[in-house]
Structure 1
């Protein structure tokens, strides 16, 4: 009987200790993702467009983030685009020299550390002119389910009008 009480006490203590760590683990996932100089709107001509983004680890601990992009299908709903037309899909890539691998897009930052990277957007041949594309850039922490994101708006102008 004494052995069962000791085992149950140990089990309850380990569960409580584990849950305390998980609470701290999930609460400290803060990060900020911003476009440098708030330039999140650009036109992409035949040379494309580039956006410089800054990821800042605002948590109190080191964290690893996975960077990704996603073309949005719904209208941009920004002050420049009043249409309700669907977005066009553009080619998007993340450019950096310090990521672990071209397909992983992972970066580890110490508390308070900033990391700059570039998102390049190019227009595929045959894309309709005078259209918009909205792209979400996301940084997902490996330590929790928190996702920090920012939105880029890209206009595809008619080259004969400029």
Structure 2
């Protein structure tokens, strides 16, 4: 019952969210630097259920080498959609070791579901075409602290 109340609260919070502008950041999220070959990515981390629910909604622009890394507790089939997201994005579904499992171009303000082709713990959203412009595809590898092996 408590879990249902938490889920309903999160759902109500999403529908009650104001339309943020660039001057009013929706969340002050921690950042991590990732690498994709010689390219560096400045990614915000969305690691809690609330942060993942809000994601990049309502943002009107995002700098070229910035993105958002969604971090889940354990690998699972992950699906994303774009309701209330104004930017065209590409989602990279990423395995624990940083290998891109698959990519999905996502159209703004749609309910189309875009899913990983296998269980993943990470999803990196970048401006649409960012990966393609750099020759990154399934099997390419990202680097950075989230993907380093823990001993």
- TM-score, normalization by structure 1: 0.24
Name the structure, 1 or 2, with higher relative contact order (CA <8 Å, separation 6+).
1
Larger radius of gyration: 1
Q: Pick the structure with more strand per residue.
A: 1
- TM-score, normalization by structure 2: 0.25
